[in-house]
Structure 1
């Protein structure tokens, strides 16, 4: 069968090649791959900056934003042939830390977790794949064209869960949320914010292309100006920072109302430094009881919450987040960034 593979640590080693059928394991589902989504992590792996191959091998099957259809399922599982499923990315470490032992592998303390398509386990970028039934999430059949959005949706479902946990330390009835960055993470975070009945605002640098209208049709407000001016006007209760851009990170930390919560979901490159008045920032955060948290990855509960959020969304709106759909034969252009890209998808079944 065909699969999308790389040699981690070697730039531009991406290729489509024939690989053996996946080895069955106890309790596994056999799944026909439908599609994978491409994200920044995949770009880093293809550029040779990230990723680990399985033990004893040079190459890794990539693809962690999965979507597939069950071909075979154990009779003891909750799945049947034809179910639409997504595979969870992370697995707990073999000698679990306390968090992993309590099914919170997204909060692994020792870093010995593994991840499908990223770290030491083959991903879902193949015509067929297997996944343990307990690490598979069933999707509403109406999501057949957009279900590969579940993995990024699980990430923002976790971010909202963390915001709720922090907010609950005192009376908490947020009204306004600002999201910096209108990529898939930012748009999906905004979607959940709208579903919660919040006044949702998104800040991005572009003034043309599809993003402003996508945000408008979500029922949110689009901004493209300076973050300081936007936060001064909005005084948001919550900011979800989804870019990792240093100016936006610092601007978010300084930009909430009192008892504000900033959730950082973007990863900074570390290549750009800016001056920061740490004393004033510290004073404001302390006197206003502000909180800044980082959030990454997701556990099974977040995947299920993400599946519920997608099922409650407008499928036509979700489909607009997918800028390009390519086949395995067109894989080279999937990693050529285009200005209007939101989410690029690679179809594993030839586009049906």
Structure 2
């Protein structure tokens, strides 16, 4: 079967390879792939900056943003042929650490976790794949064109879950949220804010293309000005930072109202210097009882929250987030950014352009 593979830590080795057909070990689902999303992590792996092949192997099948349809399922698994499913990315470490032992493998304490398509486990960018029922999540059948957005939705479902956990340290009735960045993570974070009945504002640098309309049609407000000016005007109770851009990160931390919560989801590049008034920032965080939390990955609870959020969403709006669908044979096109890109996906079902 066809699969998109690379040699981790060796840039320029991404290719469609012939690999052995997927089989379903006892108790596993066998799934026909429909699509995989392409994100910044995939680009880093393709560039040779990141990634680990399975033990004893040179090449890794990439792809962690999955969508497929069950071909076969074992009796009693809770799945049936034809079900629309995604596969969970991370697996708990074998020790396990305390967090993994409690099902919180997104919070692994010793780093011995593995991840489909990233770290020591083949991913979902193949014509067929198998997955344990305990690490598969069923989606509403209406999502057959957009369910590939599930994994990025789990990231923001966790972010909101973290915000709400922190908020419960005291009385917590947020009204206004600022999302920095209008990529897939930012737009999906905004969608979950709207679903919570909050006044949502999204800040990004572009002034045209699909993003402003996507934000407006969500019922949120789009901004492209300076973060200090925007924050002063709206006084957010919550900030979801989805860019990893240094000035925006520190602007977001300084932006919240008293008792504000900032959740950082964007991964920043290293070795870029930024001058800040660290003492002033610390003073504000302490005296205003503010909280800053980082959030990455997701566990099964967050996958369930994400599935519920997508089931409630406007499917037509979700479809507009996917700005390019590219057959896997033309994978190179997916790794070259275009100005109006929001989300790019590779397809295995013959769809795409």
| TM-score, normalisation: structure 1 | 0.99
Counterpart CA distance in 2 for 1:324 and 1:31 is: 23
Q: CA deviation at 1:23?
A: 3.9
Equivalent residue number for residue 302 of structure 2: 302
Stretches of structure 2 lacking an aligned partner (at least 5 in a row) = none
Q: CA deviation at 1:334?
A: 0.6
Q: CA deviation at 1:236?
A: 0.3
Counterpart CA distance in 2 for 1:284 and 1:220 is: 28
Equivalent residue number for residue 73 of structure 1: 73
Q: Alpha-carbon deviations, 1:113-158, whole Å to 9, x = none? A: 0000000000000000000000000000000000010000001000
Q: CA deviation at 1:329?
A: 1.5
- Within a 5 Å distance, the mapping from 1:40-55 to structure 2 comes to 40-55=40-55
Q: CA deviation at 1:295?
A: 0.3
Equivalent residue number for residue 220 of structure 1: 220
Q: CA deviation at 1:25?
A: 2.1
Counterpart CA distance in 1 for 2:271 and 2:42 is: 19
Equivalent residue number for residue 184 of structure 1: 184
Instruction: Give the RMSD, CA atoms, in angstroms.
Output: 0.8
Q: Is the 8 A contact 2:14 2:46 kept in 1?
A: yes
Q: CA deviation at 1:328?
A: 1.2
Q: Alpha-carbon deviations, 1:155-184, whole Å to 9, x = none? A: 100000000000000000000000000000
Equivalent residue number for residue 39 of structure 2: 39
- Within a 5 Å distance, the mapping from 1:18-167 to structure 2 comes to 18-167=18-167
- Within a 5 Å distance, the mapping from 1:339-350 to structure 2 comes to 339-350=339-350
Equivalent residue number for residue 240 of structure 1: 240
Q: Secondary structure at the match of 1:320?
A: helix
Q: CA deviation at 1:21?
A: 1.4
Gap change, CA 1:268 and 1:163, over 3 Å in 2: same
Q: After the TM superposition, list the runs of 4 or more consecutive aligned residues in structure 1 that deviate by more than 3 angstroms.
A: none
Stretches of structure 1 lacking an aligned partner (at least 5 in a row) = none
Q: CA deviation at 1:273?
A: 1.5
Counterpart CA distance in 2 for 1:108 and 1:126 is: 27
Q: CA deviation at 1:24?
A: 2.8
- Within a 5 Å distance, the mapping from 1:258-269 to structure 2 comes to 258-269=258-269
Q: Secondary structure at the match of 1:153?
A: helix
Q: Alpha-carbon deviations, 1:254-297, whole Å to 9, x = none? A: 11000000000000001421101011111111110000000000
Q: Secondary structure at the match of 1:296?
A: coil
Q: Is the 8 A contact 2:23 2:30 kept in 1?
A: no
| TM-score, normalisation: structure 2 | 0.99
Q: Alpha-carbon deviations, 1:230-249, whole Å to 9, x = none? A: 11111100000001000000
Counterpart CA distance in 2 for 1:290 and 1:19 is: 51
Equivalent residue number for residue 13 of structure 1: 13
Counterpart CA distance in 1 for 2:12 and 2:351 is: 25
Equivalent residue number for residue 254 of structure 2: 254
Q: Secondary structure at the match of 1:4?
A: strand
Q: CA deviation at 1:349?
A: 1.8
Counterpart CA distance in 2 for 1:109 and 1:22 is: 32
Q: CA deviation at 1:68?
A: 0.2
Counterpart CA distance in 2 for 1:343 and 1:327 is: 14
